[in-house]
């Protein structure tokens, strides 16, 4: 009898443990605000754009797309040295976010940074000159693809070390808090960088001190050639801040309207003193990780399907045509205008002189 009772008790304890484990798993999976203390936020509906907003988004995304296509050509010709990471396919993320910010807000990102530079208003000539290592480049020809900077446009790089920009972006937010302004730091990083330790150190500090930083995770599904499900135990990256009481949402990063709506919500969250927030942008890059990556880890059909069904630029084009806000001829004229800007930037860069040898010794702190 005693043995049977002990067995029954043991069985009940085992069942209770399994039940408790399921409860914890469920709580983790749903990230209940009540269970974790994390503030609850809702995913805003995609914003309905005006004609002017649609045209602005189209032009900005086209500028990034055509610029990156030209950069790929120049790289193939040997005119761009080192690494070159193209932003083709992800244009809606940075364009939508830039439509949500105000003058004074800071932007910092990793090495896939050409699109961010152009979206902040940095001149295409200066960006292309830097890519080709010329004197008129934003870093005087010394930074190249991954290390450009513009104080005037509040763009703080371009960083080649995976995840290194996250503590720096958090520091920008700390500076805003210290100075008492209402500026917000937009800190971009990818799904691969989301597993870096310094990211979580930054999360902890930002939450503890209620820093005004929007952490924007550009989840393009692949960290170099590794699919996210092969590298991350939790593939919903918007949940990464739960342990630090940082709310997060997933956003359709292929729809510029959805990005703009999420951006509006996030920057207002930060400006109102509520602390950091995470936006996981579900996006996709059409090209390889860098120009040296043949992207054999995915099928051509996968890429073609995304291009055909989810392309961020084509979505805007179709809305403009369906609403009769623009004709095919008008859209072709916009594309030609953008192509002319990019062609001019490429010509300028190729004719711009290389830096003098003495430039090696400028901007060096000893």
Is residue 171 domain-resident? yes
Residue reference for tokens 């930083």 = 213
Is residue 35 domain-resident? no
Is residue 1 domain-resident? no
| Bigger pLDDT: 286 vs 8 | 286
The pair of three-digit structure tokens given for residue 138, joined into one six-digit string: 């934003």
Max distance between CA atoms of the chain, in angstroms, equals 95
Residue reference for tokens 């043991």 = 10
Task: State the CATH number of the domain containing residue 223.
Answer: 3.40.50.970
Where b means 16+ CB within 10 Å and e means fewer, 186-212 reads: bbbbbbbbbbbebbbebbbbbbeeebb
| Bigger pLDDT: 47 vs 165 | 165
For position 289, what pLDDT does the model report?
A: 83
Is residue 234 domain-resident? yes
Average pLDDT estimate for 120-137:
96
For position 161, what pLDDT does the model report?
A: 93
Q: Are strands 222-223 and 226-227 parallel, antiparallel or unpaired?
A: antiparallel
Is pLDDT at 31 greater than 50 in this prediction? no
Residue 204: domain span: 51-124+150-348
Is pLDDT at 181 greater than 90 in this prediction? yes
For position 35, what pLDDT does the model report?
A: 63
- Could you read off the pLDDT of 64-112 as tens digits, one per residue? 999 999 999 999 999 998 899 899 999 999 999 999 999 999 999 999 9
Distance CA 291, CA 294 (A): 8
| Bigger pLDDT: 28 vs 103 | 103
Distance CA 151, CA 341 (A): 23
Is residue 32 domain-resident? no
Is residue 45 domain-resident? no
- Could you read off the pLDDT of 201-248 as tens digits, one per residue? 999 999 999 999 999 999 999 888 898 999 999 999 999 999 999 999
For position 26, what pLDDT does the model report?
A: 37
Is residue 17 domain-resident? no
Is pLDDT at 293 greater than 70 in this prediction? yes
For position 225, what pLDDT does the model report?
A: 86
8-state DSSP, 292: T
| Bigger pLDDT: 17 vs 365 | 365
Distance CA 13, CA 19 (A): 10
Is pLDDT at 321 greater than 80 in this prediction? yes
HSE at residue 220, side-chain half, CA atoms within 13 A, is: 28
Predicted confidence band of residue 115 (pLDDT cuts 50, 70, 90): very high
Distance CA 320, CA 313 (A): 11
Is pLDDT at 255 greater than 50 in this prediction? yes
Which strands sit side by side in the sheet containing 106-108, from one edge to the other? 106-108, 185-190, 213-219, 277-282, 248-252
Is residue 65 domain-resident? yes
Number of structural domains the chain divides into:
1
């Amino acid at each position: 009898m005693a043995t049977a009772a002990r067995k029954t008790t043991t069985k009940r304890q085992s069942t209770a443990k399994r039940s408790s484990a399921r409860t914890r798993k469920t709580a983790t999976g749903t990230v209940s605000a009540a269970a974790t203390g994390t503030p609850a936020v809702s995913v805003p509906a995609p914003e309905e754009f005006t004609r002017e907003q649609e045209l602005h988004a189209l032009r900005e995304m086209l500028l990034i797309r055509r610029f990156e296509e030209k950069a790929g050509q120049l790289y193939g010709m040997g005119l761009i040295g080192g690494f070159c990471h193209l932003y083709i396919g992800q244009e809606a993320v940075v364009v939508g976010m830039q439509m949500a910010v105000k003058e004074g807000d800071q932007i910092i990102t990793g090495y896939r940074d050409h699109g961010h530079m152009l979206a902040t208003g940095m001149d295409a000539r200066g960006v292309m000159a830097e890519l080709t290592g010329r004197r008129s480049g934003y870093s005087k020809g010394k930074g190249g693809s991954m290390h450009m900077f513009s104080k005037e446009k509040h763009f703080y790089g371009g960083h080649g070390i995976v995840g290194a920009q996250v503590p720096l972006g958090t520091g920008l937010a700390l500076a805003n808090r210290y100075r008492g302004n209402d500026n917000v730091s937009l800190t971009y990083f990818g799904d691969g960088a989301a597993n870096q330790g310094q990211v979580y150190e930054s999360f902890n500090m930002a939450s503890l001190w209620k820093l005004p930083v929007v952490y924007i995770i550009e989840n393009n599904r692949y960290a170099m050639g590794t699919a996210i499900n092969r590298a991350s135990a939790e593939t919903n990256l918007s949940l990464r801040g739960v342990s630090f009481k940082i709310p997060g949402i997933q956003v359709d990063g292929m729809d510029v309207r959805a990005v703009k709506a999420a951006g509006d919500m996030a920057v207002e969250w930060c400006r109102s003193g509520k602390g950091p927030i995470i936006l996981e942008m579900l996006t996709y890059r059409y090209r390889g990780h860098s120009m040296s990556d043949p992207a054999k880890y995915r099928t051509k059909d996968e890429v073609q399907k995304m291009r055909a069904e989810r392309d961020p630029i084509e979505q805007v084009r179709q809305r403009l045509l369906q609403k009769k806000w623009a004709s095919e001829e008008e859209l072709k004229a916009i594309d030609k205008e953008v192509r002319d800007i990019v062609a001019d930037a490429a010509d300028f860069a190729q004719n711009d002189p290389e830096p003098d040898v003495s430039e090696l010794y400028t901007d060096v702190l000893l």
